Chains A and B, each alone.
Chain A
Amino acid sequence: MTVEKPTMIEFRDVHKYYGDYHALRGITAKIRAGEFFSLLGPSGCGKTTLLRTIAGFEGISSGAVMIDGKHMEGVPANKRPTNMVFQSYAIFPHLTVAQNVGFGLRRANLAKDELARRVGEALEMVGLKGYGARAAHALSGGQRQRVALARALILKPKVLLLDEPLSALDKKMREQMQVELIKLQRQVGITFILVTHDQEEALVMSDRIAVMFEGEIAQLADPETLYRRPNSKKVADFIGTMNFLPAEILSEGPGGIEIEAQGLGRVTLAPDQAPGAASGQGATVGFRPETLTILFEGQPTAERESMGTIEEVVYYGDMTYYDVRLDGTASPTRISMRNVFGRPVLDIGARARIAWSAGALVLFR
């Protein structure tokens, strides 16, 4: 980690009501200058509403939104140092590509050739060099997306807001645009804030992610921490796949937490393996499918091992997913194994030795 960057956006206890509906429930967070930040959550969690409070399209009921140290209360959308890429792209259909991209510069009263130069630069940046004279309504989805990006970035905003910009593209195009967006963000150095419901997209693109449920930020962390140390079962469930087994806390001290987990036995966890606050619903350990390994005949004994019976096999080509019932557990545990050449795919009903490591466990309590 380098030196902490200055704060670009700050939410201070932001609340938003639509009539009786409490859409944002006390959002407090800081977004750093120059970072690629994602708001991730299921639909209806308030992520788009939060984004729109930054743009100025939604007012807030209480609290404060600050952009670059300035209070945004009473500042309308057209006076904020932010620009937005809309989910529908909102390309003006009656204008050409160049007129769309240069739209925001209209008020700057630039000379004709200066305007053309800057529009040309912006189009080149998004890979649409030479498209200026085309009619906007004749573009493909991916091209519209690029025009929307160029149009927003030409004003050199402090913050670029992206409202599910990739959701309308097909899978291949989406993956390509993800990479391009990351490159573009590094190139321009502007703070990007992305709203998405796609956890994979958020993990791939973001420096940091805020996971939102029901108007609250459940966890704000970098992708790796979010994946490896989710602070609640809900976050763990939303991001990737996680296995859960009931556990019992035996003792807790400065040296760690000793637990007895079903199917795994006695384990001592480091304090950072229990990142969440106590929920009072009893203890559970969670672990990702790829942190377990099935040991094949002849492989040496691992430090921690459990026995189990294979209940389901799902073959994916490069991977095989096994649902294994560890001895002494009530529900199957999912294990993902890379299909190394020459290694057999096990059958349903086979007994297997499962190796795991204590460091991969997360404790929820």
Chain B
Amino acid sequence: MKGGGFRIYAICYLIFLYAPIIILPLFAFNDATVIAFPLSGFTTKWFAEMTTQPALGQAVKNSLIIAVSASVLATTLGVFAARASTRYDFPFKGGIMGLIMLPLVLPEIIVAVSLLVVLLGLGVNLSILTVILGHVLICTPFTIAILSSAFQSLDRSLEEAAYDLGETAVSTFRLIILPLVMPGIISSLLISFTISLDEFIIAFFLAGTEVTLPVYIFSQFRFPQAVPVIMALGTILVGMSILLLTIAEYFRRRGLARSGAKDTGGFL
């Protein structure tokens, strides 16, 4: 009974989590405009129809620009912060790191509203740039969390050994530190890319007229005939997200294996 009860609970839990996602591909390939059972037949026309909508193409383009820029910027900032916090001691370190990590637990709507107020107050026009700014803010804590563990597992004497063997601080970073934390950097890039691509609230508040993919999808739900196309789009997005997170986890584990450290968890 003990094990059985938990097993039933776990199964219900997983159904609750994943059933709606399974609906996506189901109706993406269903030959009907109405989202309802029974299914009426197999089709790929909804995928084909996606290519005929220029607004969708623009939204995808915007989203990709934002996601790439935000993940590169957030990861760069994360490298600096993670290196500094694991290697050096400076005044108010705990407080500073706490403030940087805060957006992780702050409601996103608060971040979005306050950013909007500040940006409008400063007279900044809403554009892709402002969305990138917002996404860097929410992605950076994630990158620091990932990269800190990468820098932490780095044995300090590796740096000293390279230095001892005649390398400078810069070449030591390039030859030893960077290759060893590279898996962490890649996994940080992939995770912040995924976060940025999926993000809705900040993008909705700060995008102005240049909508991102999630915002576009939300706006399309007003038109019933557009729903199957959204299902097709959602299917592609889910597939991509799973792929990216898998790659990210692969690199994180490979990094741990290479530096010989113990696996202490991580995101997946």
A residues in contact (CB < 8 Å) with B: 55, 57, 76-78, 82-84, 86-88, 90, 92-94, 103-104, 106-107, 137, 151-152, 155
Tell me the complex Cα distance, A137–B255, Å.
Answer: 12
For window 147-189 of B, CB contacts with A under 8 Å fall at 155, 157-158, 160-168, 176, 179-180
Residues B164 and A78 in contact, CB atoms below 8 Å apart: yes
Cβ-based interface call for B3 (8 A) = no
Given A88-B155, A88-B157, the answer on whether A94 and B180 have CB atoms closer than 8 Å is yes
Cβ-based interface call for B33 (8 A) = no
Residues B157 and A83 in contact, CB atoms below 8 Å apart: no
Residues B260 and A90 in contact, CB atoms below 8 Å apart: no
**Shortest distance from the beta carbon of A47 to any chain B beta carbon, whole Å:** 17
Which among A83, A87, A103 has the greatest number of chain B C-beta atoms within 10 A?
A103
Given A86-B160, A86-B161, the answer on whether A93 and B166 have CB atoms closer than 8 Å is no
Tell me the complex Cα distance, A55–B161, Å.
Answer: 10
Residues B260 and A151 in contact, CB atoms below 8 Å apart: no
**What are 15 A-B contacts with C-beta separation under 8 Å?**
A57-B164, A76-B163, A77-B164, A78-B166, A83-B164, A90-B157, A90-B160, A92-B176, A93-B260, A94-B179, A94-B180, A103-B165, A107-B166, A137-B258, A155-B166
Cβ-based interface call for B125 (8 A) = no
**Shortest distance from the beta carbon of A106 to any chain B beta carbon, whole Å:** 8
Residues B161 and A84 in contact, CB atoms below 8 Å apart: yes
CB contacts (< 8 Å) of B257 on chain A: these are 137
Cβ-based interface call for B259 (8 A) = yes
How many B residues, CB 8 Å from partner? 19
CB contacts (< 8 Å) of A152 on chain B: these are 164-165
Residues A90 and B158 in contact, CB atoms below 8 Å apart: yes
Least CB separation from A86: chain B residue: B157
**Shortest distance from the beta carbon of A172 to any chain B beta carbon, whole Å:** 24
Tell me the complex Cα distance, A230–B166, Å.
Answer: 40
Residues B158 and A92 in contact, CB atoms below 8 Å apart: yes
**Shortest distance from the beta carbon of B187 to any chain A beta carbon, whole Å:** 16
Q: Contacting B167 at CB < 8 Å: which of A78, A88, A151?
A: A78
Least CB separation from B261: chain A residue: A93
For window 53-99 of B, CB contacts with A under 8 Å fall at none
CB contacts (< 8 Å) of B166 on chain A: these are 78, 104, 106-107, 155
**Shortest distance from the beta carbon of A35 to any chain B beta carbon, whole Å:** 21
Residues B163 and A93 in contact, CB atoms below 8 Å apart: no
Which among A83, A90, A104, A155 has the greatest number of chain B C-beta atoms within 10 A?
A90
Q: Contacting A104 at CB < 8 Å: which of B158, B165, B258?
A: B165
Tell me the complex Cα distance, A137–B256, Å.
Answer: 12
CB contacts (< 8 Å) of A83 on chain B: these are 164-165
Given A93-B259, A103-B162, A137-B260, the answer on whether A78 and B157 have CB atoms closer than 8 Å is no
